[in-house]
């Protein structure tokens, strides 16, 4: 089973920039999107070209903001919008997909760079989501966490770590929460296969950052320990354009 996650930075805009062709090339069984920026009825007509997929939407209340989506061509046992917290649900932050004993958390983690209140909101999200998925692991579920986590975990995960130590996305307090996810029994799927530097999933639209590969790795697939033997591959598809983020994938032997 191939699962792909992509922050599309506005699905309507991305649909005009090759989204459908990119998805067909990636060929996911399950596609999880972040920052769709849609309201009901605004789904791009281009999606009709992706036959065989069933779509599930979780939009923000605010127009043109946030939002996540799941498209699947495999049977799902359920898709939960949010994970029990209204303060995140109103921003369309999270979906939880159930397939048998597998739980896939797709999240658009908050950006903490817009003042102390938003940083606190981001850290609360990390804490509350970890509490929820830890309960799933304790109950015997296999867990995947994916999406735009909005933090680069280690110095190898961004081009200029020294210059960004005090910037949201690489602050110590944010990285410590990433450590806690690993301490809770999650593994970074990409790093199982790719220890090399200079692999990023987001680039600023300014200063030719993408062309110069001055980027950040903000998009992840994290997996519970029991899934580790089932992970066959995990990739950053940095050749795919259409957004300031690129897709990330995991190939999983399932069931």
Residue 157 is a catalytic residue: no
Please pick, among 148, 188, 219, 251, the residue that the annotation labels catalytic.
Answer: 148
Peptide bond preceding 255 in cis form (omega within 30 of 0): yes
Quote the Cα angle for 70-190-248, to 5°.
35
Residues 6+ apart with CB under 8 A from 145: 105, 107, 129, 133, 181, 186, 220, 221, 222, 223
What is the β-pairing status of strands 102-108 and 142-148?
A: parallel
Are 184 and 137 spatial neighbours (Cβ–Cβ below 8 Å)? yes
Q: 32 to each of 72, 95, 99, 223, how far by Cα in Å?
A: 9, 9, 14, 15
Q: 152 to each of 1, 60, 81, 155, how far by Cα in Å?
A: 26, 25, 26, 8
Residue 62 backbone phi and psi in degrees, to 5:
-75, 130
User: Which of the residues are catalytic?
Assistant: 148
């Amino acid at each position: 089973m191939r699962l792909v996650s992509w922050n599309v930075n506005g699905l309507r805009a991305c649909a005009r920039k090759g989204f459908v062709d990119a998805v067909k090339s990636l060929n996911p069984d399950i596609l999880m999107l972040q920052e769709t920026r849609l309201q009901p009825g605004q789904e791009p007509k281009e999606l009709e070209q992706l036959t065989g997929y069933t779509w599930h939407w979780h939009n923000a209340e605010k127009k043109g903001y946030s939002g996540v989506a799941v498209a699947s061509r495999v049977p799902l046992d359920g898709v939960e919008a949010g994970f029990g917290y209204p303060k995140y649900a109103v921003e369309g932050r999270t979906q939880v997909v159930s397939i048998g004993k597998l739980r896939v958390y797709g999240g658009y983690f908050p950006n903490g760079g817009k003042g102390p209140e938003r940083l606190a909101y981001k850290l609360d999200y990390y804490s509350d989501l970890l509490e929820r998925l830890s309960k799933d692991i304790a109950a015997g579920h296999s867990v995947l966490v994916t999406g735009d986590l909005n933090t680069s975990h280690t110095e190898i995960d961004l081009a200029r770590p020294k210059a960004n130590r005090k910037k949201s996305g690489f602050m110590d307090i944010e990285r410590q929460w990433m450590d806690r996810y690993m301490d809770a029994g999650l593994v970074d799927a990409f790093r199982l296969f790719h220890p090399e530097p200079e692999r990023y999933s987001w680039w600023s639209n300014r200063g030719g950052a993408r062309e110069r590969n001055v980027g950040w790795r903000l998009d992840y697939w994290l997996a519970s320990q029991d899934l580790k033997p089932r992970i066959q591959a995990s990739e950053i598809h940095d050749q795919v354009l259409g957004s300031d983020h690129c897709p990330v994938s995991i190939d999983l032997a399932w069931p």
